[in-house]
Amino acid sequence: MKIYSYKFLLVSGLMAIGSVAFSQSPLYKNKSASIPSRVQDLLKRMTLEEKVLQLSQLSFGNNTNANNIGNKVKNIPAGIGSLIYNSDNPVYRNQMQKKAMEETRLGIPILFGNDVIHGLRTVYPISLAQACSWNPQLVQQACAMAAKESKLAGIDWTFSPMIDVARDGRWGRISEGYGEDPYTNAVFGVASVKGYQGNHLSDSFSIAACLKHYVGYGASEGGRDYSYTEISQQTLWDTYLPPFEACVKAGAATLMSSFNDISGVPSSANHYTLTEILKDKWKHQGFVVSDWNAVEQLINQGVAANRKEAGYKAFNAGVDMDMVDKIYIENMPQLLAEKKITQAKIDDAVSRVLHLKFQLGLFDKPFATVLEENERVLLPASRKLAQDLASESIVLLKNKQQMLPIKSNIKSVALIGPMVKDRSNIMGSWAFDSKDEDAETIWEGFGKVFANQVAFNYAKGCDFDSTDESGFQAGIEQANQSDLVIVCLGEKKKWSGENGSRSTLALPAIQEKLVMELKKSGKPIVLVLSSGRPLELVRLEPLADAIVNLWQPGVQGGSALADIVKGNVNPSGKLAVTFPLTTGQIPTYYNMRPNSRTNTQGNYKDISTAPLYWFGHGLSYTTYQYDSVKISATKVKKNEKIVAEVTVSNTGKVSGKETVLWFISNPACSISRPMKELKYFEKKEIAAGGKATYKFEIDPMRDLSFVDATGKKFLESGSYFLLVGGQKVKIEIE
């Protein structure tokens, strides 16, 4: 997005108004005029009531999200600024847009937003899974495809990506982001923004992105949703803000203020984060929308006595648009009269909203193109992308004695568990516009991929969560008749996502018990896990010969999994989030700060202190050998770059995709730093017997520096370490 200063907008606007004073059609309707001049021309013509409506968003249409039941066309004011569009039918949008264009004085188009989180009708894997692919290019393509489907459904704006760093798997929304690491969230956030927004917001299939939830929502206490967050200024700057800064720099059009209270100042009333950092320091020119009812919730959070006070606190802090609670509509004129808010601030907020509408080309093309459903959703290319992304997101957690891919002596396989024939939970949360029949089940995927080469026996065994063990016997019988048992377990989709917190990362006891019973058959056991969070596998892991983490893979999950089990695809996913050994270890994440005592001091007395699977863990069907790291210099000045290279050989029999993760550490600094910090990663395909060289160009100021509690970046002289593939290389900064 182009950056214009408010002064520039004003001056160019005034000049432009002068020059068209006598022309018939207003300047804001002139397609060839500049956007700032069109914004200013329109702003000058608007009444206060019209402006206030532009700063308000209501919900429209219906979907299956109980949170989000919208109004009908007749109940929505024609001049509303934006609508949450709960439909994937462009005709419905166009009906509402017609009302806006024809029944308002100025004909300002409505901006239609929707939660296109991991696809619209073509559901891709959940974002947490996408991060495990370590393939931002593929994620960008999936987001571009989702944008196209959305645009053709009448959606101009998605409330995505979610780039909340999350380190507590109990928090259901961990599924919506890219895991525990700030850099990973930044890279995948930027890829999503680029995918959604394309080269220009005005392109036919671009939609505007919305970074959420700004900021610190991932620190929800106890993993409970909507709860308080205790975040020091230092942690705010070094952990929660970096992904937002990167995505703002990449041109993200909007942000959403979050539900959490940051150490006493709720995000939606936080002048420091919304105005001083976002608008003043980072110079973001787009707008901020509150989260659903977040303005009103300032009352619950204890910083506003009533709706009116909540309204001016949020607005003065920097929330430009109010989502659904109508507080701005009801209170803004009065607040202005009482001088609690200023006209200049209203104009600034309205300019930001109008600016995006012009950028998206809504004034010139307010209506969505209407195509038949089969011409715009679930096209073969989208399904292919969904499958590719699912394949790369799957993480092989354990593979004892190369149990997978299954060998030719396996003639019959028992597919047991509540996930085998599931076509709803496999989609994950935030798939409200999807249809269950669009999804491929695991059962169907195996049937398709294996054709008739293997006989599959099925039993559900048990439900996701119940005490009814009556299905166990059928499962045991199928296991007894088969050469191999694949147990497909997991979570229901409502167990993660918004308002989807759980107190434990363990699967319900009945699912664990099913595996214990099946183990008695003596057959090898492959566990397939589908979840929206890292799981506690302390009891299940010892029972399994292999464990495949499928996540919630979306519409093509069945085939993606079957291809991996058969060996058509070599797994290449690596965890973007640590799997603790037990829930009691939370928080545990790779980038923790060091303890004051080393060795075993401070460890738990009852269990191991190490998690079961660290961030970055993921197995392959081949083996990789890392050569020694080559480095262009080991001692440099702060402004000198260093090139590090590592050659990786594929020493196995099948080709594979290996992601090299480059970490740094800085053991002595004036502010203690994480023990390891990911700074770069790259994924490459390496043929069997082949090699590939991975390169990391280290810019010390960018890659070795740190940030203080005021957001100031600094780079100290001293020793740093580069960590890659088990190697540790010292770098001296003079």
Applying CB under 6 A, which residues contact ligand BGC?
67-68, 84, 115, 159, 212, 291-292, 498
Residue nearest to ligand BGC (CB): 159
Closest distance to ligand BGC from the beta carbon of 326 (Å): 15
Instruction: Give the H or E element holding residue 387.
Output: helix 380-393
Among residues 706, 592, 701, the alpha carbon closest in space to that of 637 is found at 701
The distance between the two most distant Cα atoms of the chain, rounded to a whole number of Å, is: 89
Closer residue to ligand BGC in complex, CB, 430/662: 430
Distance, CA of 357 to CA of 467 (rounded, Å): 53
- Residue nearer to ligand BGC on the CB measure, 298 or 406: 298
| Nearest partner of 286 among 225, 187, 354, judged by Cα | 354
Distance CA 258, CA 165 (A): 13
Give the bridge partners for 538, in sequence order: none
In the chain the first and final C-alpha atoms are separated, in Å, by 38
Place of tokens 């939970």: 425
Q: What is the DSSP string of 177-201?
A: S--S-HHHHHHHHHHHHHHHH-S-T
Phi/psi of residue 266, nearest 5 degrees:
-55, 145
Structure token pair of residue 335: 């607040």
Burial track 452-485 (b if 16+ CB lie within 10 A, e otherwise): eebebbbbbbbebeeeeeebbeebbebbeebbbb
Instruction: Record the tokens describing residue 105, joined without a space.
Output: 């004085």
Distance CA 485, CA 307 (A): 58
Least distance between ligand BGC and beta carbon 296 (Å): 12
Q: Are 174 and 496 spatial neighbours (Cβ–Cβ below 8 Å)?
A: yes
Structure tokens at 147: 């944008």
Distance between CA atoms of residues 478 and 280, nearest Å: 64
CB atoms within 10 A of CB 381: 12
| Phi, psi values for residue 487, rounded to 5° | -105, 120
The full DSSP string for 129-144 is HHHHTT-HHHHHHHHH
CA distance 442 to 566: 13
| Cα–Cα nearest to 194, from 141, 135, 124, 119 | 141
The closest of 428, 459, 275, 411 to 352, measured between CA atoms, is 275
Query: Which CB atom, from 287 or from 292, has the smaller least distance to ligand BGC?
Result: 292
Environment class of 59 (CB within 10 Å of its CB; exposed 0-12, middle 13-18, buried 19+)? buried
Amino acid, res. 89: N
Would you say the C-alpha torsion 222, 225, 227, 232 has a positive or negative sign? Answer: positive
Residues 6 or more apart whose CB falls under 8 angstroms from that of 421 comprise 441, 442, 443, 458, 460
* Closest distance to ligand BGC from the beta carbon of 141 (Å): 23
Return the axis-axis angle of helices 327-337 and 343-359, rounded to nearest 10°.
Answer: 140
- In a 3-state reduction of DSSP, which class is residue 19? helix
- Is-catalytic flag, 291? yes
Q: Which of 405, 546, 497, 563 is nearest to 126 (CA)?
A: 497
SS3 554: coil
Q: Give the number of other CB atoms < 10 A from CB of residue 250.
A: 18
Q: Which is nearer to ligand BGC, 115 or 388 (CB)?
A: 115
Catalytic residue among 291, 320, 433, 703: 291
Query: Catalytic residues, which ones?
Result: 291
